[in-house]
């Protein structure tokens, strides 16, 4: 089966988008932007049904027709992740796009006040849940013989380790790696990610460990709108498979070179190792222990 790869052939208009973390600052604005571009949105969050239903009703009333529906789900539970996909399909008749936007950070540093339960929560929501959602979505798209898109909400913290974001950064680094490794699914399933610098949200503004952090530059902080624009662009950009896009300051769609440089470095190390092994064998040299 052939799948469209021309950039002009994939638009948000008419697509059904499953959006996790839909009631957060980014999720709400992203849902609004997607609806404005003609999409229907399956909203998923852990917040109460009345909160989610209220937001969904507001979206629907703004467009004069049902462009969204809400489901409360705990992404720590794999059964609920599976249910959200079935629910979205039954509610809208299909699911074209998965946006893994849900995330959780910690106010604690790994070696000062963190605990096993909190670490598990961060890893489950930020890494295990997107992995499971992608696995199920890939099976769904394959069975339906459709074309699908996944956008992962990563973070610059997954590429630039810093004290205070050890576990969060590790989870986001895993998500970036998963995105790159999933390039092989294209063109049927196109997976990409965005990696924002700090975003001007309540979660960032109210985080005490960031208030006196010298690595946080207000002039480089992103608006929620910039993140939403980049997410929509990832959905529509058919050249985005396997790529992670950095967002910082006025740069809001820069493909990262991280894996390219790492792959080159590994190839150079491997080549040098093969050369040294060949030289040793040629001259009968023994490896020194």
**CA triple 26-29-34, angle to 5 deg:** 115
pLDDT at 260: 79
Largest CA distance in the chain: 81
The candidate with the shortest Cα–Cα distance to 172, out of 128, 140, 133, is: 128
For 223-289, strand residue ranges (E) read: 244-248, 251-255
Q: What pLDDT was estimated at residue 105?
A: 85
| Mean pLDDT score across all residues of the chain | 90
User: Among this protein's residues, is 198 annotated catalytic?
Assistant: no
Confidence of residue 286 (pLDDT cuts 50, 70, 90): low
Residue 159 has pLDDT above 60, yes or no: yes
Q: Are 192 and 241 in contact (CB under 8 A)?
A: yes
Q: Are 41 and 22 in contact (CB under 8 A)?
A: yes
Dump pLDDT digits (tens) for 8-43.
579 999 999 999 999 999 999 999 999 999 999 999
Q: pTM for the whole thing?
A: 0.89
Q: Does domain 7-256 have CATH number 1.20.1440.130?
A: no
Q: Are 227 and 26 in contact (CB under 8 A)?
A: yes
For 162-236, where are the alpha helices, taking DSSP H only? 166-181, 202-205, 208-211, 224-236
> Which residue out of 10, 70, 140, 168 is catalytically annotated?
168
Query: Among residues of the chain, what percentage have pLDDT more than 90?
Result: 71
DSSP helix, strand, coil percent of the chain (3-state; round to 5)? 50, 15, 35
Measured distance CA(267)–CA(215) in Å, rounded: 33
pLDDT in tens, 226-244: 999 999 999 999 999 999 9
Report the distance separating Cα 249 and Cα 142, nearest Å.
Answer: 38
CA–CA distance, 196 with 223 (Å, rounded to integer)? 10
Per the listing, tokens 């909160």 go with 51
Residue 9: C-alpha distances to residues 1, 142, 237, 263 (Å): 16, 20, 10, 32
Query: Residue 19, SS3?
Result: strand
- CB contact at 8 A, 84 and 129: no
| Inter-residue contact 191 to 179 (CB < 8 Å) | yes
Residue with the two structure tokens 């965005």: 194
* pLDDT higher than threshold 60 for residue 217: yes
Say whether pLDDT at 100 is over 50: yes
Contact in structure between 133 and 99 (CB atoms under 8 Å)? no
Query: Residue 156 has which token pair?
Result: 């610059």
Element (H, E) at 20: strand 16-20
Whether the Cβ atoms of residue 19 and residue 195 lie closer than 8 Å to each other:
no
Question: For residue 120, how far is the Cα from the chain centroid?
Answer: 19
């Amino acid at each position: 089966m052939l799948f469209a790869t021309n950039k002009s052939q994939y638009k948000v208009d008419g697509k059904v988008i499953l959006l996790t973390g839909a009631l957060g600052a980014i999720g709400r604005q992203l849902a609004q932007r997607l609806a404005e571009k003609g999409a229907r949105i399956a909203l998923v969050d852990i917040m109460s049904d009345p909160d989610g239903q209220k937001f969904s009703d507001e979206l629907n009333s703004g467009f004069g027709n049902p462009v969204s529906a809400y489901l409360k789900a705990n992404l720590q539970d794999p059964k609920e992740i599976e249910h959200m996909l079935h629910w979205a399909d039954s509610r809208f008749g299909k699911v074209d796009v998965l946006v893994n936007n849900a995330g959780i950070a910690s106010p604690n540093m790994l070696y000062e006040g963190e605990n096993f339960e909190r670490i598990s929560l961060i890893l489950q929501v930020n890494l295990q849940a997107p992995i499971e959602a992608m696995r199920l979505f890939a099976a769904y798209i394959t069975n339906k013989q459709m074309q699908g898109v996944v956008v992962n909400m990563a973070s610059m913290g997954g590429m630039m380790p810093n004290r205070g974001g050890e576990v969060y950064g590790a989870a986001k680094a895993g998500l970036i790696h998963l995105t790159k490794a999933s390039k092989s699914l294209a063109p049927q399933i196109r997976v990409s990610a965005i990696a924002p610098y700090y975003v001007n949200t309540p979660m960032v503004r109210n985080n005490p460990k960031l208030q006196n952090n010298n690595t946080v530059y207000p002039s480089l902080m992103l608006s929620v709108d910039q993140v939403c624009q980049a997410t929509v662009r990832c959905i529509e950009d058919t050249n985005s498979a396997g790529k992670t896009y950095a967002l910082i300051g006025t740069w809001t769609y820069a493909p990262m070179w991280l894996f390219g440089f790492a792959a080159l470095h590994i190839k150079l190390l491997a080549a040098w190792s093969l050369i040294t092994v060949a030289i040793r064998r040629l001259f009968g040299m023994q490896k020194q222990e």
